A = this chain, B = another copy of it.
Amino acid sequence: MTIELPPSLGVRGNEEIAKDIISRIWGKRGVFTCTIANTLTSTIPGVSEAGDTPELTLYTGPADAEYLVMGKVTCMKGIPINPGGIPTPATLTKAALDLSKMPFYIINGGSKIIPNIPCIEVGGKCGEKVTTGHTLTNVQQSFEYGKILGAQLAATHDFVVVSESCAGGTTTALAVLLAMGTIRENLVSSSSPKNPKQLKWDIVMEGLKNAGIEIGDLADDPLKAMECVGDPMMPVNLGIALGAAKTVPVIFGGGTQMAPIMAAVAKMDPSVLGNIMQGTTRWLLSDPNSNMVKIMENISDRIPMVYINMDYSKSPYEGLQAYEWGFIKEGVGCGGSSVAAVISSAGKIDCDMILDRVHELYKVIMQIE
């Protein structure tokens, strides 16, 4: 039986597959993972806004992870907040996890700073700048460990959510998508409404040149593309997805950063298509400065985009309203965890409940009475 989607969820792309997957996991129990990772790409001035300074972008992933697990951050002062008081999307992720009580785990895909919490280790290390053309060293181990973990999680849960917190990750995503020839123009997103598209393009072109590859050269070797110009969250999430999607549905929580992994899945094991979908936000899909839909059209017509209909224009706080103005939009699996919360609760959790919880969390963070 196929269920009707609640108003809290929307679909772009293949609605038939979306409804089929959602029907199979409606009211079922999933597990959420967030893989934190870095490349030094985010320290190139202007590339990433996920941090007050280029250097601080390296703390964003571990801080997000600590916030999800402990509700506070100890690896740096405060939680990741943009100067305008715009909080990390981990606030939305945490709200969804709090409400759904979904088990969740932090995976250290290769973070420069190790958070002060227990993490699942997969042998990954912080990567170099994408400009080097050789960002990663330990791709095969991370990928294999991901497959083992994916199978392990799938054996004991009804679905698996993969996600990321990796500053500068849209740039490495662009690089891998170009190396694979999935796209030939800059369609990736940014956490800023002023997407520095030309800067990212120039950096990525330098990386491809230094790797000695042209656009599309690595169409048949996604792991090589990740090794040359990717980031360390990619091979482990690719492994988890391939390891899990053989037996249970996998939700890719995130925006354009997850696109190269979905492209790799479609290339390496097309048999799992029909069992994977993206879980993202309305904000990401309506971003005028990126084009998730067009990227996905180039990957497969069998990976639907399911989004959570969160609308922060209803919020009394400017820091949250900013999401409506093009800030943040995605990250830390905020879309995937929210979509999963609606699904696993069989629709009992909706956008209004999630927004209430985000407000509670935001007031604690901002010390609002």
A117–B101 CA distance with the chains assembled, in angstroms = 26
The reply to whether the CB of A267 lies closer than 8 angstroms to some CB of chain B is: no
Pick the contact of A148 from B29, B70, B152, B155 — CB < 8 Å? B70
Q: Is the CB of A157 within 8 A of B103?
A: yes
Range class of the A interface residue count: 20 to 34
A119 sits at the interface (CB 8 A)? yes
- Assess whether A103 is in contact with B156, with CB atoms less than 8 Å apart: yes
Interface of A is mostly: mixed
User: Which A314-351 residues have C-beta < 8 A from chain B?
Assistant: none
Which residues of chain B are near A11, meaning CB under 8 Å?
none
Are the CB atoms of B156 and A104 closer together than 8 Å?
Answer: yes
Asked if A69 is at the interface (CB within 8 A of a chain B CB), the reply is yes
B117 touches A119 (CB 8 A): no
Is the beta-carbon distance between A31 and B148 smaller than 8 angstroms?
Answer: no
Complex: A122 Cα to B145 Cα, angstroms: 18
| Complex contact B118–A149 (CB within 8 A) | yes
Q: Which of A69, A104, A152 has the most C-beta atoms of chain B within 10 angstroms of its own C-beta?
A: A152
B-facing residues in A77-112 (Cβ within 8 Å): 101-105, 107-108
In this complex, what residue of B is CB-closest to A107?
B118
A120 with B118: CB separation less than 8 A: yes
Tell yes or no: A121 within 8 A of B by CB.
Answer: yes
Question: Is B119 within 8 A of A155, CB to CB?
Answer: no
Copies in the complex: 2
Q: When each residue 138-169 of chain A gets 1 if its CB lies under 8 Å from chain B and 0 otherwise, what string results?
A: 00000001101100110111000000000000
Q: Chain B residues with Cβ under 8 A from A70's Cβ?
A: 148
Residues from chain B with a CB closer than 8 A to the CB of A105 are 105, 120
**Measured between C-beta atoms, what is the minimum distance from A69 to chain B in Å?**
6
Known contacts A120-B118, A120-B119: does B156 contact A101 (CB below 8 Å)? yes
Chain B residues whose C-beta falls within 8 Å of the C-beta of A101 in the assembled complex: 155-156
Smallest CB–CB gap between A62 and chain B, Å? 13
Cα distance A148–B106 when bound, in Å?
12
Task: Please name the residue on chain B nearest to A108 by beta carbon.
Answer: B121
A104 CA / B148 CA spacing, docked (Å): 13
Min CB–CB distance A289 → chain B (angstroms): 36
Q: Are A117 and B102 in contact (CB under 8 A)?
A: no
> How many Å from the CB of A70 to the closest CB on chain B?
6
- Taken together as a complex, chains A and B put the C-alpha atoms of A157 and B156 apart, in Å, by 13
- Which A residues fall within an 8 A CB radius of B? 29, 31, 69-70, 101-105, 107-108, 117-122, 145-146, 148-149, 152-153, 155-157
- 19 examples of A-B residue contacts, CB within 8 angstroms: A29-B29, A69-B152, A101-B155, A101-B156, A102-B156, A103-B103, A103-B156, A103-B157, A104-B152, A104-B156, A107-B118, A108-B121, A118-B145, A118-B146, A118-B148, A118-B152, A119-B120, A120-B120, A121-B121
Task: Given contacts A102-B156, A118-B146, list 19 more A-B pairs with CB under 8 A.
Answer: A69-B152, A101-B155, A101-B156, A103-B103, A103-B153, A103-B157, A104-B152, A104-B156, A105-B105, A105-B120, A108-B121, A117-B145, A118-B120, A118-B121, A118-B148, A119-B120, A119-B121, A120-B120, A120-B121
